[in-house]
Structure 1
Amino acid sequence: MILAWNQWDWDALVSRTRLIGFDLDNTLASSKRPMIPDMAQRFSALTRHIDVAVITGGRWELVTSQVVDMLEPQANRDHLHLMPTSGTRYYRWSQGQWRCVFSHELNADQRRRAMSSLERHAREQGLWRERIWGERIEDRGSQITFSVLGQAAPLQAKQSFDPDGALRRGLVEAVAADVPDLQVRAGGYTSVDVSQRGIDKGFAVHELSRLVGIDVPDMAFVGDRMTPEGNDYPAVQAGAMGVVVGNPGDTLLFLDEMLKRIGA
């Protein structure tokens, strides 16, 4: 089931939910920016009551700067499950530090073929722009990410670039034909991700279920891209309850309502 954050029956949602997962960019924080103090306070408070996951297409270093470094001292890190690069990696707090539980790395040949195909088809389709902000192709080890406008592009530019997803669909289809052994999918507003086949946010919630012992239908996932072509949708396809937000402001309001009831 997918509903907007303010359409849920709050008491029913709280009584059923045993783990809450969050997208990161435009859900917990603005793109590539740390959580604001109000979000960090509520997010930290949530970890004291329930298991909390962050599943994002971003690399581990961004999860660190946007989330981990902003946690309050009272946050229960033992309740946190951090899954960067679309769930290809999984980190838990253990013995006073974050440890990688698993990592589904691409090998050197897979990374080379993915990057070559992305560049070639982006140039052919007019998506190799002259003006970009930050890195264009990132090798994240377990995921190759191509960002048409660059990783650090302003949010407004990202949101207005390809609103119906048609440009990214064309690139996804062309690259997927070159690397049939890999999974190619649209990521954020301007990005295309390449990873091991079968690994997305649906894979991530199934792995959480297996490792933590919480059934997927007892998980809620909060994100801003819950349409069938959005990168948060696989979590709902896997069976999690989908909570749609439009921006971090919505997420703050959602957390306020949940904390009122979970805290009680």
Structure 2
Amino acid sequence: MIGHGCEVPLWSDVDVESVADRVRLVAFDLDNTLARSRLPMSGDMSRAIAALTRMLPVGVITGGRFALVTSQVLSMLDDTADLSSLHLMPTSGASYYRWDGSGSWRQIYAIDIDEHRRHAVIASFERRARELGLWEEHVWGERIEDRGSQITFSALGQQAPLEAKLTWDPDGSKRQRLTQAVAADVPDLLVRSGGHTSVDVTDKGIDKAFAVTRLSQELGIDVGQMVFVGDRMSEGGNDYPAAKAGTMAIRVAGPHDTLQWCDRLLKALRPVRGRTDQTPLPTPH
């Protein structure tokens, strides 16, 4: 487990052979880890993820909704991927999907915020963003998205280009001010910075630590036997809770790093195990 203030190792500094000996599941953040914001995975990444699914369970844990997992990940996988090995956890683990074996994805659970509190969050986002001068005149797409289990404010809109996102709040201070203001309005909910321009609200306790812990319970795999790969692994980043929970956390700067890490892990896994060496997974319930 990562101690307070400790740095998560960069992918290139990790002993991949040691990881290959211990790992029973590999989980990934999505945006800027598997793919650029809102864009599909590359062909090379898709082939690497498909190869991993044939060796061991693979999780995708993201603050985005299921539709984004579909467009960025699932739409890019071909029939060489073992879909039964995929574990999809949108909205930071507030919902969980498994392949049902008959052509569709089954929702195993969803932890939704009740309607009254969702309305309160939406009203707070608009009021506080206007007060703080963060209600931008021009946006690309939806600004406040009600995902049921998560409410997300995207300062530049859901479809904003990556270049605009990267320059809007490079030091995170705008998101921090908005987070603090909204948290004061809805103290019974968890308010935290999301992506480059976003702030997310979920029920308290719903973060990527919750997600990997819940996945551990669902599959009977110790958290310490899980790898979690993410780009926001500094303290305060939305991937950092997965490191704090005790996973073998790995830091990347973007999809290019992730692909290189996957290639290294696949080479290390092939001599020592195949997909059939894994403990059989439980069927969805």
Same fold (TM over 0.5): yes
**Which of residues 159, 162, 175 in structure 2 aligns to 1:155?**
162
Q: d(CA) in 2 for partners of 1:127 and 1:243? A: 33
Aligned match of 1:115: 122
Aligned match of 1:8: 14
Aligned match of 2:143: 136
Contact 2:84 2:101 survives alignment (8 Å): no
Gaps of 5+ in 2: 3-7, 272-285
Superposed structure 1 runs of 4+ greater than 2 Å apart: none
Contact 2:128 2:178 survives alignment (8 Å): yes
**Which of residues 14, 23, 40 in structure 1 aligns to 2:29?**
23
Q: Secondary structure at the match of 1:3?
A: coil
Aligned match of 1:59: 65
Percent identical pairs in the alignment equals: 56
Aligned match of 1:221: 228
CA shift, 1:79, in A, is 1.0
CA shift, 1:61, in A, is 0.4
Contact 2:60 2:87 survives alignment (8 Å): yes
Aligned match of 2:188: 181
Q: Which amino acid aligns with 2:36?
A: S
Q: d(CA) in 1 for partners of 2:40 and 2:32? A: 11
Aligned match of 1:127: 134
Aligned match of 1:250: 257
CA shift, 1:195, in A, is 0.9
Q: d(CA) in 2 for partners of 1:156 and 1:191? A: 15
Q: Secondary structure at the match of 2:41?
A: coil
Q: d(CA) in 2 for partners of 1:154 and 1:79? A: 32
Which structure shows the higher strand fraction?
Answer: 1
Q: Which amino acid aligns with 1:123?
A: R
CA shift, 1:16, in A, is 1.4
Q: Secondary structure at the match of 1:105?
A: coil
CA shift, 1:31, in A, is 0.6
Confirm or deny that 1:80 pairs with 2:69: no
Q: Secondary structure at the match of 1:114?
A: helix
Aligned match of 1:232: 239
Q: d(CA) in 2 for partners of 1:29 and 1:155? A: 12
Q: TM-score w.r.t. structure 1 length?
A: 0.98
Q: d(CA) in 1 for partners of 2:91 and 2:189? A: 15
Q: Secondary structure at the match of 2:234?
A: coil
CA shift, 1:95, in A, is 3.0
CA shift, 1:17, in A, is 1.2
CA shift, 1:132, in A, is 1.1
Q: d(CA) in 2 for partners of 1:174 and 1:141? A: 21
1:175-212, Cα deviation, whole Å (9 max, x unpaired): 11111111111011110001111101110000001110
Alignment of 1:184-203 (within 5 A): 184-203=191-210
Q: d(CA) in 1 for partners of 2:51 and 2:193? A: 33
Give the paired residue count. 264
- Cα RMSD for the two superposed structures: 0.9
Greater Cα shift, 155-164 or 182-191: 155-164
Q: Which amino acid aligns with 1:68?
A: L
Q: d(CA) in 2 for partners of 1:72 and 1:260? A: 21
CA shift, 1:60, in A, is 0.5
Q: Which amino acid aligns with 1:201?
A: K
Q: d(CA) in 1 for partners of 2:235 and 2:151? A: 22
Q: d(CA) in 2 for partners of 1:241 and 1:189? A: 25
CA shift, 1:160, in A, is 2.0
Q: Which amino acid aligns with 2:96?
A: Y
Q: d(CA) in 1 for partners of 2:191 and 2:51? A: 36
